[in-house]
A and B are shown apart, each in its own frame.
Chain A
Amino acid sequence: MSAPLVLGVSFGYLLLLFAIAALADRRAAEGRSVIDNPLVYALSLGVYCSAWTYFGSVGEAAAEGIWFLPIYLGPMLAMLLAGVVILRMIRIARTYRITSIADFIASRYGKSPLLAALVTLITVVGIVPYIALQLKAVATGYQIMTAAPADSGALVWWRDSTLYVAMALAAFTILFGTRHLDSAERHEGMVAAIAFESVVKLGAFLAVGVFVTWGLFDGPADIWARAAVLPELRALARLGSGTGEGGFGHAQWFALVVLAMLSVLLLPRQFQMMVVECVDERHLKRAAWVFPAYLFLINVFVLPIAIGGRLIFGMETVDPETYVLTLPLADGARALALFVYVGGLSAATGMLIVETIAVSTMVCNDLVMPALFRGRGFGAYSGRDLTGLLLNIRRAAILGILLLGYLYFRMAGDAYALVSIGLISFAAVAQFGPALLIGIYWKGGTRLGALGGLIGGFSLWAYTLMLPSVARSGWISADFVAHGPWGIEMLAPERLFDLAGLDNLTHALFWSLLANVGLYVGLSLWRAPGARETSQALLFVDIMKRGDAGEAPVFWRGRARIADLEALAVRVLGDERGRLLFAGGQAGQSTGHGAGPLADAQLVDRVERQLAGAVGSASARVMVASVVEEEALDLDDVIAILGEASELRAANEKLKSLDQMKDDFISSVTHELRTPLTSIRALSELMLDTPDMDEAQRAEFLRIVVGESERLSRLVNQVLDMAKIESGQAEWHNSDVDLGALIVSATGGMSALFAERGTAIALDLPPAVPPVRADADRLTQVLLNLLSNAAKFVPEGRGRIEVSLKIAGDSLEVRVRDNGPGVPSADRAHVFDRFRQGGDALTRPPGTGLGLPISRRIVNHLGGEMWLESEPGEGACFGFRLPLPPAPEGEKK
């Protein structure tokens, strides 16, 4: 195919991407986000499938068979934990405006700039080969399409198309990712374009899969039938790829699964898409299964293409990594080949765009900015708008990263297959696993532990994996790899401490993660964390316990002038957004003395978090500290603040529920007061307006008026009583009370009423009981309430009420049992609620609905409790228990 055609299509495709991104950005500005959609979110996660997947999987499958698979089973495992681990990461990142993985780890361990820089450094070193891999894929694809001679080192650099691809992508990424500074580091347009790219690459890969399987062959069974007769192809569907590997092949499989599981969480582009660009955490639910389904689909045809390719090309020297292009081309399907080429382009560009944006953010916020502050001091930048500076640093970083990738590609690219380069990068980012994943669950992890773990793990990664790969490229002596430094076999990078038999990846992963976790946990346990580390650990680990950041405690004390904070915010965030932060007016101010209004801790925290979104939490910390006077917090302060915060929250909740109770109470009281008042007013008015009313009628009306008036005054008394008891204003005249005597006198007082209604009363009292400390009048009130309550419900003429008193352990128990209808089970839970009266208004005896609630409160106040025992149809039994005072020493048995 002609070079201009391929180039034209390539640039046309990039232009299309740009159009999609621009459109999405415009829609976002109009408030109609296209990426606020779970499917778009899931597709954007498809950025995991880079050129490595697109070309490399087939290459791997052609050589190793089923072994290409673990890299995609790992993400499946990770997504099974989406609702547990990823949700937590998203919640933390959104709450504290974390915009990169370096920021995340640094923030967790006390906003440590050192940690942020270290993570950034590891990322850059680890990711550059991966970037080179994508460039290599694009370059190879272009060569195959244009049938140019294979790139040899002799080609002069200015005629190297790969360089131009890198430059074009840099320009494109800069246009995409750094058009404006966003305090949440969200890129709507980019996400939309990446989701689109995911669709393109999946479509293209499925197309070539169908073409090979049913176009070149007669279905998958046909491919296998032909392959099965060749032993070397037959082995591709088996684990051993032969026999005799023993247990160590198993270790490699396991290592690959674990590695992929960590990578899908920790690769900069995955973190960017999954965590930073997540618009709505509810999208995660669908993405959790759509993304694995996407991986499933893009892998279904890998084996058929790989085996088909080997059947067709046989012993010819066609690189299996190019099968997806060379198979259609060999058959003359040029249009399909072009489509597949575009698919490969989309796989590579998607990865490059997101990765460079993510890494450039880290480089800018966590390497360059802190260096600038330290070099000339933050003061040197005072008075300048920093937004332009920040964007320019990021643009330079994007260009720099792509150029580094290009350099690596020129120097080492040919020595390696795509898959091995990719795995080196995977193993590098896997080093973030312990500090990040353990750190969000374990409060005990410290900055020292994280630093130690990362340095240890990274060093071993470099020594056991990176160094041998460099040696293989011929830069340093291969002797070093074969026999160890200075001939010390024990230190040979791929057989450290004579651990032989493992493949080099598993070997490196084992040693680096062992050192990493060991140092992380060991150092964390060795030295207690500082105050800021502790406070950040609390904020991170307890994230799921809080609704949003507003409820989290703020670990800050000091003096900050609002004017200073505002000036800082304006410089970093720009005029409009900076001022918006303070638009809340008086909120957040505390009283100032001469120097202008002061900000409270909440406002300082809010400003710092907004700045963190733009420059990273570590830099934001430095900036805020430079304009305010802070008190250094120690561990006790952190604990004290935490205590205050939870007390405050508890107090607020209590106030809210009290408020609700008060409202309910007032509305019930109003209702209860209005009902008797209505009768009284209506009947009185009628009597007044009807002079000729007959005497009997008038007498009945008057009787009702009197009855309702009594009900009203009883109600008023009880409401007041209740209010007094509840507010603690009631007076209690406690003395030693003989409960038996009290029961006798209470029942005696009501005997006339009982006799009138034909109710029998039976007392069951022991001859003598020890006295209780209580207010005799109030206790009588309780007994009268229970007795009159019982009297109301017993059948007329054959009612029976039993009152019993007995000593139960260290308390006295009183029971009032009646032979009424009992309490229906539905009402049992509410008999002690205010204004809940049994029965309906017509049949129920007069009462206010406050007697039982008041009685219970009195008993509770005296340190006892009241309850209801009732079986429907068997009558009700109300009981209460009062504690006996502890017996004096001398009288003990």
Chain B
Amino acid sequence: MSATVLIADDEPNIVISLEFMMKREGHRVLVARDGAEALEAIRRERPALVLLDATMPVHSGFEVCEAVRADPAIRDIRILMLTAKGRETDMARGLGAGADAYVTKPFSTRELLEKVREMLA
């Protein structure tokens, strides 16, 4: 089954790997380079899933996540948060902001794929 997945990350090489994975799964892939772009893409395209980097320019992933959850039109969009900071407090903050799942970098591609499949099921 094919879904639209938005990848929001400012590190081009990470985007390349995520894009490759999602395409191989057969999803349609959109890419956003910063928080503002991500929010705009979410509003426009209503993706089934967002892979959201926590530390991005303009708006951080946490802010994007909170904004999505606060907007009734898009609040049901599933969000998987990615971050390079693995501390407990960040994890708590991410879940507090309303992310559905949370993966720390560097991530295992297999685990990530499993989570994505689960979330799109």
Q: CB–CB under 8 A between A and B in the complex? A: yes
CB distance A679 to B85 under 8 Å? no
**A704 on interface, CB distance cutoff 8 Å:** yes
- Contacts known (A679-B14, A840-B33, A841-B12); A674 close to B57, Cβ less than 8 A: no
Given contacts A671-B55, A682-B17, 14 further A-B pairs with CB under 8 A are A671-B85, A674-B85, A675-B11, A681-B109, A682-B18, A682-B21, A682-B109, A685-B109, A685-B110, A686-B17, A708-B13, A840-B10, A841-B12, A842-B12
Report 28 cross-chain contacts, Cβ distance below 8 Å, ordered by A residue. A670-B84, A671-B84, A671-B85, A674-B84, A674-B86, A675-B11, A675-B84, A678-B106, A679-B11, A679-B17, A681-B106, A681-B107, A681-B109, A682-B21, A683-B13, A683-B16, A683-B17, A685-B109, A686-B17, A686-B21, A689-B109, A689-B110, A690-B24, A704-B16, A840-B34, A841-B10, A842-B12, A842-B33
Indicate which residue in B12, B85, B107 contacts A667 across the interface (CB closer than 8 Å): B85
B28 within 8 A of A: no
Chain B residues contacting A840 (CB-CB under 8 Å) are 10, 33-34, 57
Set of chain B residues within 8 Å of A842, measured between Cβ atoms: 10, 12, 33
Q: Mark B68-109, 1 if CB is under 8 A from A, else 0.
A: 000000000000000011100000000000000000011111
Q: Are A679 and B84 in touch, CB under 8 angstroms? A: no
User: For chain A residues 657-674, which have a beta carbon within 8 Å of chain B?
Assistant: 667, 670-671, 674
Chain B residues whose CB sits within 8 angstroms of the CB of A681 once the complex forms: 106-109
A670 to B55 Cα, complex, angstroms = 13
B24 / chain A contacts, CB cutoff of 8 Å: 690
Most chain A beta-carbon neighbours within 10 Å: one of B14, B34, B110: B14
> Given A675-B11, A840-B33 in contact, is the A685-B108 Cβ separation under 8 Å?
yes
* Tally of chain A residues near chain B (CB < 8 A): 25
Residue among A682, A686, A690, A707 making CB contact with B106, cutoff 8 Å? A682
Counting from the closest, the 6 A-B pairs by CB-CB distance are: A682-B17, A679-B13, A674-B84, A678-B105, A678-B106, A841-B10
**In the complex, what distance in Å separates the CA atom of A691 from the CA atom of B110?**
15
Which chain B residue shows the least CB distance to A704?
A: B13
Are A682 and B12 in contact (CB-based, < 8 A)? no
Interface residues of B in 1-26 (CB under 8 A from A): 10-14, 16-18, 20-21, 24
Contacts A667-B85, A671-B84, A671-B85 known; A841 to B106 CB distance under 8 Å?
no
Chain A residues with CB under 8 A of B14: 675, 678-679, 682
> Is A528 at the interface (CB under 8 A from chain B)?
no
Residues of B within 8 A of A704 (CB): 13, 16
Q: How far is the CA of A686 from the CA of B106 in the complex (A)?
A: 13
Q: How far is the CB of B47 from chain A (nearest CB, A)?
A: 20
Q: How far is the CA of A603 from the CA of B32 in the complex (A)?
A: 61
Q: Smallest Cβ distance from B100 to chain A, in angstroms? A: 21
Q: Check if A677 is an interface residue, CB within 8 A of chain B.
A: yes
Cα separation A682 to B51 with both chains bound (whole Å): 15
Most buried by B among A671, A685, A707: A685
CB-CB under 8 A from A682, the residues of chain B are 14, 17-18, 21, 106-107, 109
State how many angstroms separate the Cβ of A127 from the closest Cβ of chain B.
Answer: 61
- Tell me which of A667, A686, A841 contacts B109 (CB under 8 A): A686
By beta carbon, the residue of chain B nearest A667 is B85
Q: Which residue of B lies closest to A697 (CB)?
A: B20
User: In the complex the two chains form, is A674's CB within 8 Å of B17's CB?
Assistant: no
List chain B residues, Cβ under 8 A from A675.
11, 14, 84, 105
Name the residue of chain A whose CB is nearest to the CB of B20: A686
Report the minimal beta-carbon distance from A711 to chain B, rounded to whole angstroms: 10
> How far apart sit A689 and B114, CA to CA, in the bound complex (Å)?
14
Contact residues in B for A701 (Cβ distance below 8 Å):
16
Chain A's nearest CB lies how many Å from the CB of B58? 9
**A841–B34 Cα gap in the complex (Å)?**
10
Chain B, Cβ-Cβ closest to A841: B10
How far apart are A815's CB and chain B's nearest CB, in angstroms? Answer: 31
Q: A670 to chain B: which residues have CB within 8 Å?
A: 84-85
Q: Within 8 Å CB of B21, what residues of A?
A: 682, 686
Residue in chain A with minimal CB distance to B9: A841
Query: Taking CB as reference atom, which chain B residue is nearest A679?
Result: B13
Give Cα A707 to B105, complex, Å.
18
Residues of A close to B107: CB separation below 8 A: 678, 681-682
Kindly name the residue among B12, B34, B106 whose own CB sees the greatest number of chain A CB atoms within 10 A. Answer: B106
Tell me which residues across on chain B come within 8 A of A677, comparing CB atoms: 105-106
Q: Please report the C-alpha to C-alpha distance between residue A596 and residue B99 in the assembled complex, in whole angstroms.
A: 59
B30 to chain A, nearest CB (A): 16
Contacts of A671 in B (CB 8 A): 55, 84-85
CB of B23 to closest CB in A, whole Å: 11
Question: Which of chain B's residues have a CB closer than 8 A to the CB of A686?
Answer: 17, 20-21, 109
> Which residue from chain A places its CB closest to the CB of B113 in the assembled complex?
A689
* Shortest Cβ distance from B82 into A: residue: A678
Contact A674 B106 (CB under 8 A): yes
* Contact across chains for B105 and A674 when beta carbons are under 8 A apart: yes
Task: List, in ascending order, chain B residues with CB within 8 A of A680's CB.
Answer: 106
Q: How far is the CA of A671 from the CA of B57 in the complex (A)?
A: 15
Contacts of A841 in B (CB 8 A): 10-12, 57
Shortest C-beta distance, B65 to chain A (Å), equals 19
Chain B CB within 10 Å — which of A677, A682, A701, A840 has the most?
Answer: A682
- A135, chain B: closest CB distance, angstroms: 68
**Of A678, A689, A690, A697, the contact of B84 (CB 8 Å cutoff):** A678
Cα–Cα, bound, A842→B24 (Å) = 24
A523-535 vs B, Cβ < 8 Å mask (1 yes, 0 no): 0000000000000
Cα(A166)–Cα(B8), bound, Å: 84
With A and B bound together, what is the CA distance between A667 and B33 in angstroms? Answer: 23
A443 to B10, alpha carbons, bound, how many Å?
A: 61
Q: How far, in Å, is B102 (CB) from chain A's closest CB?
A: 15
Instruction: Report the bound CA distance from A841 to B53 in whole Å.
Output: 13
Minimum CB–CB distance for B56 against chain A, Å = 9
Point out the residues of chain A lying under 8 angstroms from B11, CB to CB: 675, 678-679, 841
In angstroms, Cα B16 to Cα A708, docked, is 13
Q: How far is the CB of A242 from chain B (nearest CB, A)?
A: 79
Chain A hits for B10, CB < 8 A: 840-842
CA distance A674 to B86 in the complex (A): 10
A462 to chain B, nearest CB (A): 70
Smallest CB separation, B115 vs chain A (Å): 14
B31 to chain A, nearest CB (A): 10
- Return the chain B residue nearest A693 by Cβ: B20
In the bound complex, how far is the Cα of B28 from the Cα of A195, in angstroms? 76
**A671 and B33 alpha carbons, distance in the complex (Å):** 18
The residues of A that contact B17 with a CB separation of less than 8 Å are: 678-679, 682-683, 686
Shortest distance between the CB of A532 and any CB in chain B (Å): 50
Tell me which of A690, A704, A841 has the highest count of chain B C-beta atoms within 10 A of its own C-beta.
A841
Distance of A674 from chain B, by nearest CB (Å): 4
Question: Which chain A residue has the least Cβ–Cβ distance from B57?
Answer: A840
Q: How far is the CA of A708 from the CA of B14 in the complex (A)?
A: 11
Give the docked Cα–Cα distance between A681 and B106 (Å).
7
Nearest A residue to B13 via CB reads A679
Q: Please report the C-alpha to C-alpha distance between residue A681 and residue B103 in the assembled complex, in whole angstroms.
A: 14
Contacting residues, chain A, for B12 (C-beta < 8 A): 841-842
- Nearest CB on A from B14, distance (A): 5
What is the CB-to-nearest-CB distance from B85 to chain A, in angstroms, rounded to a whole number?
Answer: 6
Please report the C-alpha to C-alpha distance between residue A829 and residue B56 in the assembled complex, in whole angstroms.
21
Query: What is the bound-complex CA distance between A842 and B12, given in angstroms?
Result: 6
Cα(A677)–Cα(B18), bound, Å: 14
For B12, the closest partner residue in chain A by CB is: A842
Query: A446 to B109, alpha carbons, bound, how many Å?
Result: 78
Cβ contacts under 8 Å, B13 to chain A: 676, 679, 683, 704, 707-708
Closest chain-A Cβ to B41's Cβ sits at a distance in Å of: 16
Interchain CA distance A842-B107 in the complex, whole Å: 21
- Digitize A482-509: 1 where CB-to-B-CB distance is under 8 Å, 0 elsewhere: 0000000000000000000000000000
Minimum CB–CB distance from A680 to chain B (whole Å) comes to: 8
**Complexed CA–CA distance, A682 and B16 (Å):** 10
A676 to B12, CA, bound (A): 11
Chain A residues whose CB sits within 8 angstroms of the CB of B86 once the complex forms: 674
Select from chain A the residue with minimum beta-carbon distance to B21: A686
